[in-house]
Chain A
Amino acid sequence: MKTFLTGWGRTAPTPATLLRPRSTDELAALVAHAPGRGVVARGLGRSYGDAAQNAGGLVLDCTGLDAWTFDEPTALVTAAGGVSLHDLMAALVPRGWFLPVSPGTRHVTVGGAIAADVHGKNHHHDSSFGAHVRSITLVTASGEIRKLGPGDPLFLATLGGMGLTGVIAEATFGCLPIETSRMRVDVERTADLDETMGAMESGDAGYRYSVAWIDLLARGRRMGRSVLTRGDHAGRTGEKESPAFAPGAWARAPGRVPNGLLNGLSVRAFNEVWYRKAPRRRGIVQDIAPFFHPLDFVDGWNRMYGSRGFVQYQFVVPFGAEETLRAIVTELSRRGTVSFLTVLKRFGAGSGGMLSFPAPGWTLALDIPAGQPGLGGLLRRFDERVADVGGRVYLAKDSRLRADMMGPMYPGLARWRAIRDEADPDGRFRSDLARRLGL
């Protein structure tokens, strides 16, 4: 029985045999007997593109591997690959601990967070998820269960390795102590892109978390106007403030949404309201969930793009290549490209993962309805500009990059390939993304 799978962007579905192992041994046996079309692990399906799809092959739903423990004295969590960050937060926050890195959604697994080496609003301060991982238990192509530490080349090939070095059965990583479950947040509105970037350059160091939402449809003098949100975990001010964490979804996106609901008009209106309603205040107190995961409040928000789905485009360019970032924002703004949520952030040091996305520089993330005419050519031109200045696009979000861009964008690719080939000589770990990008 084949199941059609897509990523979060709901584009390019392909069928695969979907199995759900309940133990590491079962997982290892399934990998060792994978069919000719290969096998890849899947978590909660939040990669936007085809990373957790394997046309005609085997996909292992790892969410059945959900055991975890927390060792408070060392602040280390040891969790199976299928444990969701949501479940970890729900249990750890009330005990006064937070995850070292929290991406834009809590609904990702530990295995997925490592395989994509995810980042959050604190990358400039704390790097990516992989930088906090102390060990990985990997099921390799032969079905062998290997424990890897940061000194192992295979460990560094697995951080950001998109699941192509093996299946992450378990991992141990450090946590962050917090006094309360509140955030102390400063919000600023900036008038244009230069002011946005200037404010981030001069002020980000003073905050653990920082992100700018850009109104991409604003043109002319207002091009790049943003709402800059920065904050830190709030300290305890009174006796009663013990940490708590109980977010739910407020709304659920309808099952069927017409294509084109998110268009130039509706997004422009949303942007205007979002920009104007931004409070321009310092010291706002907010809960963890609305600060980190506002989109998680709408269950299935990806359906709002209609049946054609949408494409995420996130790239990073190094510091010093601000002109490239400016040129891309200018072109997007000039063309009136509809991107519902456009986010700008500064990255700090990378984690050392050979195919990890983050590197010191500016990162811009867009999500664009897939039906927009000329989108393929536009993004390909952006790919080239980004690669020319030593930048890259994020594989966990990608669904349309061409294979020939991988080498220029990922200088660690050759080394990664050598290590992967040694660990998986027959190419047993395969995904649609791997085929598309010739990995």
Chain B
Amino acid sequence: MRNALGAVDSVLLLGGRSEIGLEIVDLLVRLGASRVVLAMREPLDPPPKLDAEVHLLPFEALNTASHAEVFARAARLVGDLDVVISAFGVLGSQEEYDADPEAAARAVAVNYGAHVATGLHAARVLREQGHGTLVVFSSVAGARVRKANFVYGSAKAGLDGFAQGLADSLHGSGARVLIVRPGFVIGRMTEGLKPAPLPSTPRQVALATVAALRDGSASVWVPRALGPVFRAMTFLPRPIWRRLPR
């Protein structure tokens, strides 16, 4: 249960290798969480050092038929799920997708379709519990889709819309959705890429996410300044938007 000061007890991380996801789990454990389930494709070896009871579960994002069982097993292991973090995903490059439309469709299936499945499973569990927060990672890439990464961006745009709708459908149930919209995150996923303006680290994204969880916010931009920047970007005329370098 979330306590009076916003600390939680149990966490399910889908995409247990995610840098941002693990940073969030690490912070939540430091703030008092004692039971953690890491669901991932291949088990981490060695498992992360956390001062908590840690369970590992196999999880395959594209095998949506298996997702119900993942949630059922997680609930059997730790009881009520206070926080579910949907942190799996692939970035890929636009050139790669241009050359291999099938790979593009697969990436969209992971970055969007699979999140729809886990999101709806999480919503069912949290609604029944009457409490709990689902953390969804949107991105500035989805705030206004750019030609430089429109496959990835369009999946994030879809996910952002899905998460907003899900949040509204959960209103009044006690369950909530937190939408995190990071900008460029310097980490494993973006290795070799030149950072965009206002970049952040996985730790910074995690700190912002945990603060938003504690305050019960519906969404958070990381860094915060990206919120007004991208809201303004939506009004940029298309010919100009098209000419932006990336």
The residue that A12 contacts in the complex, of B1, B9, B31, B79, with Cβ under 8 A, is B1
B-side interface residues, number (CB < 8 Å): 20
CA distance A311 to B7 in the complex (A): 13
The closest CB in chain B to the CB of A431 belongs to B1
Chain A 31-66 interface mask (CB, 8 Å, partner B; 1/0): 000000100000000000110000111000000000
The residue that A311 contacts in the complex, of B1, B5, B9, B79, with Cβ under 8 A, is B5
The reply to whether B2 and A15 form a contact with Cβ atoms under 8 Å apart is: no
Give me 10 A-to-B residue pairs in the complex whose CB atoms sit less than 8 angstroms apart, sorted by A's number.
A2-B174, A16-B130, A37-B129, A49-B4, A55-B80, A56-B128, A375-B5, A400-B4, A432-B131, A436-B9
Chain A 425-439 interface mask (CB, 8 Å, partner B; 1/0): 000000011011000
The reply to whether A15 and B174 form a contact with Cβ atoms under 8 Å apart is: yes
B169 beta carbon closer than 8 Å to chain A: no
Docked complex: A383-433 residues within 8 A CB-CB of B: 399-404, 432-433
Q: Collect the chain A residues with CB atoms within 8 Å of residue B128's CB.
A: 37, 56
The closest CB in chain B to the CB of A380 belongs to B32
Contacts A56-B130, A404-B34 given; indicate if A376 touches B5 (C-beta within 8 A). Answer: yes
Q: Collect the chain A residues with CB atoms within 8 Å of residue B127's CB.
A: 56
Return B103 CB to nearest CB of chain A, in Å. 42
B93 beta carbon closer than 8 Å to chain A: no
CA distance A436 to B82 in the complex (A): 10
Contacts A55-B174, A435-B79, A435-B80 given; indicate if A370 touches B129 (C-beta within 8 A). Answer: no
The 8 closest A-B pairs by CB, nearest first: A56-B130, A55-B130, A399-B4, A11-B4, A436-B1, A400-B3, A55-B131, A15-B174
The reply to whether B174 and A370 form a contact with Cβ atoms under 8 Å apart is: no
Binding site for A on B (CB under 8 A): 1-5, 7, 9, 31-32, 34, 79-80, 127-131, 172-174
Return A399 CB to nearest CB of chain B, in Å. 3
The reply to whether B1 and A4 form a contact with Cβ atoms under 8 Å apart is: no
A161 beta carbon closer than 8 Å to chain B: no
Contacts A37-B128, A37-B130, A57-B130 given; indicate if A12 touches B3 (C-beta within 8 A). Answer: yes
Q: Collect the chain B residues with CB atoms within 8 Å of residue A311's CB.
A: 4-5
Taking A2-B172, A56-B128 as known contacts, 14 extra A-B pairs with beta carbons closer than 8 A to each other, sorted by chain A number, are A2-B130, A4-B174, A12-B1, A37-B128, A37-B129, A37-B130, A50-B3, A50-B4, A55-B1, A56-B174, A311-B5, A376-B31, A400-B4, A400-B7
Q: Collect the chain B residues with CB atoms within 8 Å of residue A56's CB.
A: 127-131, 174
Q: Collect the chain B residues with CB atoms within 8 Å of residue A375's CB.
A: 5
CA distance A370 to B2 in the complex (A): 14
CA distance A375 to B32 in the complex (A): 13
Return B2 CB to nearest CB of chain A, in Å. 6
Contacts A55-B1, A402-B32, A436-B1 given; indicate if A15 touches B7 (C-beta within 8 A). Answer: no
The reply to whether A403 and B4 form a contact with Cβ atoms under 8 Å apart is: no
Return A436 CB to nearest CB of chain B, in Å. 4
**From A4, A15, A56, residue with most partner B Cβ within 10 Å:** A56
Return B24 CB to nearest CB of chain A, in Å. 17
The reply to whether B173 and A15 form a contact with Cβ atoms under 8 Å apart is: yes
CA distance A2 to B4 in the complex (A): 21
**From A11, A49, A376, A433, residue with most partner B Cβ within 10 Å:** A376
The residue that A435 contacts in the complex, of B1, B5, B173, B174, with Cβ under 8 A, is B1
CA distance A56 to B4 in the complex (A): 18
Chain A 321-365 interface mask (CB, 8 Å, partner B; 1/0): 000000000000000000000000000000000000000000000
A142 beta carbon closer than 8 Å to chain B: no
CA distance A9 to B34 in the complex (A): 24
**From B9, B80, B130, residue with most partner A Cβ within 10 Å:** B130
CA distance A12 to B174 in the complex (A): 10
CA distance A11 to B215 in the complex (A): 11
The reply to whether A399 and B3 form a contact with Cβ atoms under 8 Å apart is: yes
CA distance A187 to B2 in the complex (A): 42
Q: Collect the chain A residues with CB atoms within 8 Å of residue B32's CB.
A: 376, 380, 402
Q: Collect the chain A residues with CB atoms within 8 Å of residue B3's CB.
A: 11-12, 50, 399-401, 436
The closest CB in chain A to the CB of B174 belongs to A15
CA distance A337 to B9 in the complex (A): 26
Return B51 CB to nearest CB of chain A, in Å. 11
CA distance A380 to B128 in the complex (A): 30
A309 beta carbon closer than 8 Å to chain B: yes
Contacts A2-B130, A14-B131, A55-B129 given; indicate if A370 touches B9 (C-beta within 8 A). Answer: no
Q: Collect the chain A residues with CB atoms within 8 Å of residue B34's CB.
A: 402-404
CA distance A380 to B51 in the complex (A): 15
**From B1, B80, B131, residue with most partner A Cβ within 10 Å:** B1
Return B11 CB to nearest CB of chain A, in Å. 15
Docked complex: A159-218 residues within 8 A CB-CB of B: none
Return A223 CB to nearest CB of chain B, in Å. 26
The closest CB in chain A to the CB of B7 belongs to A376
Q: Collect the chain B residues with CB atoms within 8 Å of residue A435's CB.
A: 1, 79-80
The reply to whether A12 and B4 form a contact with Cβ atoms under 8 Å apart is: yes
Q: Collect the chain A residues with CB atoms within 8 Å of residue B1's CB.
A: 12, 50, 55, 432-433, 435-436
Return B207 CB to nearest CB of chain A, in Å. 14
Return A34 CB to nearest CB of chain B, in Å. 14
Q: Collect the chain B residues with CB atoms within 8 Å of residue A370's CB.
A: 4-5
Q: Collect the chain B residues with CB atoms within 8 Å of residue A49's CB.
A: 4
CA distance A256 to B174 in the complex (A): 22
The reply to whether B4 and A15 form a contact with Cβ atoms under 8 Å apart is: no
Return A16 CB to nearest CB of chain B, in Å. 7
